[in-house]
A and B are shown apart, each in its own frame.
Chain A
Amino acid sequence: MPQTDAATVALARDGDSEAFRALVERHSRAVYRLAHRMTGSAQDAEDVVQETFLKAYRQLSRFESRANFSTWLHRIAVNCSIDLIRSRPRREAGHDGADLDQLGGDERVQTTQASPERLMLSTEVQDRVMDAMSSLSVMERAAFALRHFEGQSIEEISQALGLKANATKHSIFRAVKKMRVALEPLVSAD
């Protein structure tokens, strides 16, 4: 199998399922991590991974070979995560999803119970970070993940989440504040 994504994508476009499999093997972990950071749920992240690769497979012919496959794939994953997040208020609380930024603590992602992933995070710091992340609302988490882990600008995040720039900024501010409250005692002790 070719080492570069561009060559592997070319094979996959020609119907070589092993080539597509190689792409899945190269990128599925990164896609999962992004989805997990955005959705805050292992189950949702798994669903996002499946949906992302399914969409990538179906849209492979539209992928421009000059572009970076990983970037393209991550964009799909972000969109899938956002779709899922947007469907969540309707799913979980009958919310119409029109004003997602107003989501409060009642609709926070509930991941405080010990999942297998969390059990693997053995150090206190990791536990504290996970706890702090789980204290964020869905929009705070999504905005923060895109800004902090994906390096997207506030403008890009606003477009992706369908929010005004100010609302995006405040989601990020609130997220950082919560992270700071939770983790400051830890880093100050260094």
Chain B
Amino acid sequence: MHLTEDDLVLHYYGELDAAASARAGEHLRECADCHASFTTLQRVLATVESAALVDLGEGFERTVWARLQPSLERPHKGWFSWFVLSPARLAWVGAIVFLVAGAFFAGRFSQSSTGPVIAGNDHAVTNGDTPGNSPSTNFREQVLLSDLGSHLDRSQMMLIELVSADPTDLVGFASERTRAGELAGDNRLYRQAALANGNTSLAAVLDDLEQVLMDVAATPDKVSAEDLNDVRRRIESKGLLLKVRVMSTDVQRRQKAQIRSRAGQSS
């Protein structure tokens, strides 16, 4: 009695018990028909094994990371506790919170509050206000944070697009260049404000961001894959995407705190 097709499959995958497997092996040695059928099955499945591989592009890993990274920074129950309890993370976040907060509140709440701050959506530079926690001061701080948060979000989006861009399809790069130029102009004002408040660390991060934005804004009409790779290398070597993401998250958190504070005062 011949082996069925199903028996051959189970034998191939080693799913028969020891006795059945021995019987199948013995039969295959004696039966030319079953042996031929089993040989064909082996060939078919070996062909599947060798051919069913998907050829992925060179930058596949980079694209995966660019898509993944923003999600990793999002606060999440479970993961968040790991985040908070990790000393390295805690120090890093603390430093960023300090930097962001310091840039806007140090000059404002100290007695020597005379440094420039950035006010309103048009980024006009004015002198510091009267120290205190008046409604008008709170409102201005809220506007400042909103403005900075929006800038960071847009910059972050741009960085993600650059990191995940397909080097073989750079047709739409002209619009990226224009956008980078606009962001670089905004960024310069934020960096100058940070410097004027003596916050050199925040200014350094914004400086790194600005250099990348300027590089993109200065790319030629026909950008090459090599140009794009240079920009990517710069973004990655400085860990810029992560830094901008963390800053953006903290600004959002501070905005919420401001809104809660205002709501508390008015009630």
Contact = CB atoms under 8 A, between A and B. Distances in A.
A176 B82 CA distance: 45
B263 interface: no
Contact of B54 (A17, A33, A148, A179): A33
Nearest to B12: A176
Contacts of B47: 125, 129, 183, 186-187
Contacts of A18: 239
B17 interface: no
Interface in A4-41: 14-18, 20-21, 24-25, 28-29, 32-33, 36-37
B167 to A, nearest CB: 15
Contacts of B92: 15
A24 B64 CA distance: 8
Given A50-B67, A61-B82, A28 B61 contact: yes
Contacts of B51: 121, 123, 125-126, 128-130
Interface in A123-182: 123, 125-126, 128-130, 132-133, 147-149, 153-154, 169, 172-173, 176-177, 179-180
Q: Which of A61, A128, A180 has the most CB of B within 10 A?
A: A180
A15 B86 contact: yes
B256 interface: no
Interface residues of B, number: 41
A54 B72 contact: yes
B54 to A, nearest CB: 5
B88 A15 contact: yes
B123 interface: no
Complex A-B, nearest 8 residue pairs according to Cβ-Cβ distance, in ascending order: A15-B86, A15-B89, A187-B43, A129-B51, A58-B79, A25-B61, A120-B55, A15-B88
Given A15-B87, A50-B71, A126-B52, 19 more contacts: A14-B86, A18-B239, A25-B61, A25-B65, A28-B65, A32-B64, A42-B54, A50-B67, A58-B79, A117-B55, A120-B55, A121-B54, A132-B48, A148-B13, A169-B10, A173-B6, A176-B9, A187-B40, A188-B40
17 contacts: A15-B83, A17-B239, A20-B72, A28-B61, A28-B65, A32-B56, A36-B54, A53-B64, A53-B68, A58-B78, A125-B51, A128-B51, A169-B15, A173-B5, A180-B41, A180-B44, A187-B43
